[in-house]
């Protein structure tokens, strides 16, 4: 009985670890962060950059403005 639990735990660890690696390799973990602003609403947080799905690049400067990427 104890061996079955250990096998199930090892299998669950492998499945979750593989899923984590898949999501990271596909680039599905990089999202821009936003801050609440009373005047405007939600604005992108300053000084951040990333790439969603390894194709949609974004970058914001210290003034919360998007920079042109080349």
Supply the pLDDT for residue 70.
56
pLDDT digits 0-9 by tens, 49-60? 888 888 888 888
Residue 67 has pLDDT above 80, yes or no: no
Residue identified by tokens 């801050």 is 35
Span 6-47, pLDDT tens digits: 999 999 999 999 999 999 898 888 888 899 989 989 988 899
The model's pTM is 0.56
The region, left, alpha or beta by phi > 0 then psi within -120 to 50, assigned to residue 64 is: left
Q: Tokens standing for 36?
A: 């609440």
pLDDT at 69: 63
| Polymer length in residues for the chain | 70
Query: CA gyration radius for the chain?
Result: 19
């Amino acid at each position: 009985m104890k061996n079955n639990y250990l096998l199930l735990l090892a299998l669950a660890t492998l499945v979750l670890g593989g899923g984590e690696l898949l999501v990271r390799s596909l680039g599905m973990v990089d999202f821009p962060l936003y801050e609440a602003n009373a005047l405007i609403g939600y604005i992108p947080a300053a000084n951040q950059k990333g790439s969603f799905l390894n194709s949609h690049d974004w970058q914001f400067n210290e003034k919360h403005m998007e920079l042109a990427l080349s």
